[in-house]
Amino acid sequence: TELDRARFLLTPGESLNENQTERGQVLRQVVALMVAHRRPSWYLAQGRKDLDETTDAYLRLLATEGIIDTGWRDAALRQRLVFRDMVRHPPLFPTSHGKGSTAARSRLAGWLGTSLYSLDRLDASVDTTLHGELQDAVSDYLGRLADPAFARSQSLIGERLLQPASLGKVSYSFTLLERTPQGNLVRVQTDTTTQPLDINEGSKLELGSTAKLRVLATYLELVAELHARLVPLEPKALRDTAFDRQDTLTRWAVQHLASAKDRSLDAMLLAALERRFSADPGERFFTGGGVHSFNNFNDSDNGRSPTVREAMQASINLPFVRVLREVVRHTMYQVPGSTARLLEDDSDPRREAYLARFADREGQTFLRRFWRKTDRRSTDELRSVLLEGLRPTPERLTAVFRYLEPEAPPEALSAFLKERLGEKAPNAARVQSLFSRYAPDALDLPDRGYVAGVHPLELWLVAYRLQNPQASLTQAIAASQSERQAVYGWLFRTRVKSAQDDRIYTLLEVEAFLDIHQRWARLGYPFGHLVPSLATALGSSGDRPAALAELMGIILNDGVRLPTRLLTGVQFASDTPWFTALGNTPVKGERVMAPEVARALQQALSEVVERGTARRLVGSFRAPGGEDLSPGGKTGTGDNRVVVRGRATLALNRTATFVFHLGPRYFGSLTAYVVGPDAARYRFTSGLPVQILGSMGPTLMPYLGTAPGSGCASAPP
């Protein structure tokens, strides 16, 4: 029923006498709606018979009270309610939201603290930074890559790229931002999945060697900090500077400044990039609580000792594993009188006294960090946060489960292991053995943490919060006094020096990665922890394409972190007395990196394109207006599998990523990925997104302006 027609028929007048049937139908509808608003989910669905009967009762009551005449009442009582067929005639035809608008809607819903359902019922309009035409052009281009003929025309078929028969299961994500005085403006944000999940911002993927960019940034930051501390020293004081023999980074810094003619920070950073690290895969590394080995992608690199710069260009694995090891050891030993130094001298009289102070002070420090990591988490989320950082083995998982669920029967342990390990879960006899071996009284807290590969205090805190969900941080600290002493005190009581050293190193490595994580988080790393292993240099801690793009923006902006903006304004209730408009606050950048470090990273990224793994992009982007859009970036390939006893058993996903900049203003990321067991059939590497970006050049170039903000920003959102 049209509203204007209903309003006309409900208005008293002599001319309506001939419309009694229609008037009766409208009256019945209006009264029914007045009744239905009390319990709409009942009356308008299963309770339609009740609605008819209640409507009849109110029509009679209206006549009895003299509000309507008996003729109108009788006409309404003769009618029956007819409900709309929501399938054939939906009240609101569904609209197809592109990935860009979906991202904007999700961002706004998050800001308002509401659901997308409720958002659709607001009288609101939004201004976005997205360039509509370019967003559609890129989405269309990526969508066409599933067509073998089009993929071949873009030179995407070949070794280490794609094969015609398997194009359909490869998904792509792309984000492009522009650095402006108003912040980093998102110009394109899209992916080819049909799911609401935004791969750019909502995923956690192993993006392979892109992690080397984060490792390189941390390495150069430490060099800059050493320069600030050491360069003011006189030559004699510099030569007398004490450093631990394991702290090779400090030793190199002292030697460099003692002999260099140019002692500036820029010169020291360039010298740091020229240091050589072995690419030999033969060394076994004690990291992550065990002994590990790593391989290079190309066997031809095995006998080399490239510079850090060359290793970055060619994305060679082993040099970066060793760079991260140097960063970890420097982090362990950089504090004067640190535990790491005291542990090397068994006869140091300060050991016991220092241990007690260390356990109390450092134990509280790490407990607070773990509290922030687990804060505002549900019971299931607490377990997930703890388990997601584990390398899953039956022993580790059982050690954790028996501590968190000491009263659970063997059947519960079996179900837990099947959930986490799938087909690789142990049989019933093995489960029973594990159940007894890792009983609550079989191991103390430090040993259990060591077996599980997690910090014992994190394990204790998760168990404590599961048992005391309402407890405060103050209460947790008070309750953990004996555990803090136990975690650190046991280290000095074992008589086996090698076992003692291994366990000490494992704990110190965990603590070093907590410090490294804080550095990464300052540069936009999106997750709450790092895997405490040198494998993090090769991507085992995961990342997000959008977070990598943010790091690229920091580097391009000489170390200043600008806000990333997708929405620029929101207007509520336009043309009403309640009109409200919201806009962005002025940009306030935060310096998170020394400008000299940012410039050194810019140069390293440019060389990846000039003569490294992305060299196929050389000359691909030439602006018609003469602006230099020479690209730079970092490639990464992720091949994530479950491996048991050296044999790959289950492929989880395969990714290939290129985080890039185009000239001084535009930057972003491009990722290709396959999820699930089918990933084992793919052999593409990071050359794929590099080739795609190059092939997209003709699509992108018309929109990349020659003056700041004049390109993508000039088009309507």
* Per-residue confidence (pLDDT) for residue 134, from 0 to 100: 93
State pLDDT tens for residues 512-550: 898 999 999 999 999 988 988 999 999 989 999 999 999
* Per-residue confidence (pLDDT) for residue 344, from 0 to 100: 64
Q: Which two tokens stand for residue 461?
A: 């805190």
* Per-residue confidence (pLDDT) for residue 49, from 0 to 100: 93
State pLDDT tens for residues 584-604: 888 889 999 999 999 999 999
Q: Above 60 in pLDDT, residue 502? A: yes
CB atoms < 10 A from the CB of 529, how many? 20
User: CB under 8 Å, gap of 24 or more: what pairs does 642-651 form?
Assistant: 642/424, 644/424, 648/680, 649/424, 650/422, 650/423, 650/424, 650/677, 651/676, 651/677, 651/678, 651/679, 651/680
Judge contact between 192 and 143, C-beta under 8 A. yes
Which runs of E-coded beta strand occur in 192-323?
285-287, 290-292
- Share of residues in the chain with pLDDT > 70 (%): 88
* Per-residue confidence (pLDDT) for residue 231, from 0 to 100: 94
Of 229, 289, 203, nearest in space to 502 by CA: 289
Residue 543 to residue 520: CA distance in whole angstroms:
11
Q: Above 50 in pLDDT, residue 712? A: no
Q: Above 70 in pLDDT, residue 624? A: no
Q: Above 50 in pLDDT, residue 461? A: yes
Under the banding of pLDDT at 50, 70 and 90, the label for residue 94 is low
* Per-residue confidence (pLDDT) for residue 509, from 0 to 100: 86
**150 CA to centre of own chain:** 32
Q: Above 50 in pLDDT, residue 713? A: no
Residue 465 to residue 471: CA distance in whole angstroms:
7
| Main-chain phi, psi angles of 82, to 5 degrees | -115, 120
> Model-level pTM?
0.73
* Per-residue confidence (pLDDT) for residue 518, from 0 to 100: 94
State pLDDT tens for residues 399-437: 999 999 999 999 999 999 998 888 888 999 999 999 999
Q: Which residues neighbour 645 within 8 Å (Cβ) at sequence distance 6 or greater?
A: none
State pLDDT tens for residues 140-149: 999 999 999 9
Q: pLDDT averaged over the chain?
A: 87
* Per-residue confidence (pLDDT) for residue 378, from 0 to 100: 87
Strand partners, 186: 177
Among the residue ranges 98-112, 456-470, 492-506, the one predicted with the least confidence is 492-506
Average pLDDT over residues 205-212: 90
Higher pLDDT, 254 or 336: 254
Average pLDDT over residues 439-465: 90
- Share of residues in the chain with pLDDT > 90 (%): 53
Average pLDDT over residues 173-184: 93
Under the banding of pLDDT at 50, 70 and 90, the label for residue 248 is very high
Judge contact between 416 and 397, C-beta under 8 A. yes
Q: Above 50 in pLDDT, residue 706? A: no
Strand partners, 673: 171, 655
Q: Which two tokens stand for residue 518?
A: 């804080």
* Per-residue confidence (pLDDT) for residue 204, from 0 to 100: 84
State pLDDT tens for residues 627-674: 668 899 999 998 877 665 556 567 778 899 999 999 899 999 999 998
Judge contact between 209 and 315, C-beta under 8 A. yes
* Per-residue confidence (pLDDT) for residue 555, from 0 to 100: 97
Of 463, 446, 468, nearest in space to 455 by CA: 446
* Per-residue confidence (pLDDT) for residue 30, from 0 to 100: 95
